[in-house]
Amino acid sequence: MGQRTPAHPVVKNLVVKLGTGILTSGIGKLSPEIIQGICAQIKQLRDRGTNVTIVSSGAVGLGMGRLGYQRRPTDLPTLQACAAVGQSILIETWQKAFEPHGLNVGQMLLTRDDLNVKRRHIAVRDTLLRLAQENVIPIINENDCISVDELKFGDNDVLSALVASLIKADLLVILSTIEGLLDLKHNLLIRVVENINQDVLGLAEGTTSPTAVGGMISKLEAARIATKSKCGMVIAKGSEPNILLRIFDGEAVGTFFVPQRTNLRSHKRWLAFFNKTCGTVTVDEGAQDALLGKGKSLLAKGIVSVSGTFGPGSIVSIKGSDKGDVARGLTGFSSIEIDQIKGMTSEEIRQIFPNRKHIEVVHRDSMVLIR
């Protein structure tokens, strides 16, 4: 990656995400030259010593074509049926494309629960690492056949970033129909992004097509997850010749998102990215400063309000006085208990709960800062 990735002079673990717009030339029609070209490049990267994991969209679009749909269905059962039909076509295509290069593929279909539930989360990680040891290219997609709204990742951009975080990848490359992050106002391609701030988020422009659900907003969310996991990310145009090799050779193509230097432990990555929160705890300015500036645990004294219904051990979002996200973590109290003790001192809480060993609402060891 040359000067483009100073934090990763050698990329040992790579995740490549390919969107529906790159893999297909229309509803139900694959682009064989794109897939064959990607496979040839991945073979070269494997020969250089890089493990590669693919996150591949396209199942729903392929199923739509096989079943004769010209427009994306709007009801969930039909979408799931299209995914069931299209996924078999997709994985067979990948296997045939890799066969001339002497590489096997392994299919993994995931729902959010597979990454939320800690035991299954670890099983997914261990399987992916084992496939790499066996010289197998994992082909990952969301399990659209059984995913419902509350279990969906929302987009394979986010799924690819979660996979990159899970296996501690060095680099995530999202191949799309666009060249990278564009400043449409000034007609500029942003080459390097060091911090995903409000100015960067303001550049996001959603896209729509009959087969795609993603856009720049989801790609920036993927970049946030990847970079906070100490993984660099590139958005580039997938139809460009030898695009992966050019990225690895340090050519200035696409947009590179610089990884953060701090490295979250596996448990805190799980807290930060892989779970939906069950409720919200809002804190005052003093508590916010204690969390962000001093690394303290969250005490009831600084809590202003609580929303949602949850029990002890649930993951909650912690918001500041400005209503912005401050942190998330595992709570030691239920929502009813937090509402009861908010604003109280530790001594007052001990009188109400004399048998509680820990009186922190969220201990710092079970909390990850968002800002």
Per DSSP, 40 falls in state H
Mean pLDDT across the chain? 89
Q: Is 343 strand, coil or helix? A: coil
CA distances for 50 relative to 242, 300, 303, angstroms: 16, 48, 47
CA distances for 47 relative to 131, 170, 245, 364, angstroms: 16, 17, 12, 43
- Confidence grade of residue 36 (pLDDT, cut at 50, 70, 90): very high
Tokens of 1: 């990656």
In the chain the domains, ranked by start, together with CATH numbers, are 2-268 (3.40.1160.10), 277-369 (2.30.130.10)
**Count of other CB atoms within 10 angstroms of residue 134:** 8
- Confidence grade of residue 8 (pLDDT, cut at 50, 70, 90): very low
The dihedral region occupied by 4, where left means phi > 0, alpha psi between -120 and 50, and beta the remainder, is alpha
Q: Does residue 263 surpass a pLDDT of 90? A: no
Interval 81-125: pLDDT, tens: 999 999 999 999 999 999 999 999 999 999 888 988 889 999 999
Interval 131-178: pLDDT, tens: 999 999 999 999 988 876 644 676 799 999 999 999 999 999 999 998
Q: To 10 degrees, what angle do helices 76-98 and 32-47 make?
A: 50
Interval 165-188: pLDDT, tens: 999 999 999 999 989 998 878 888
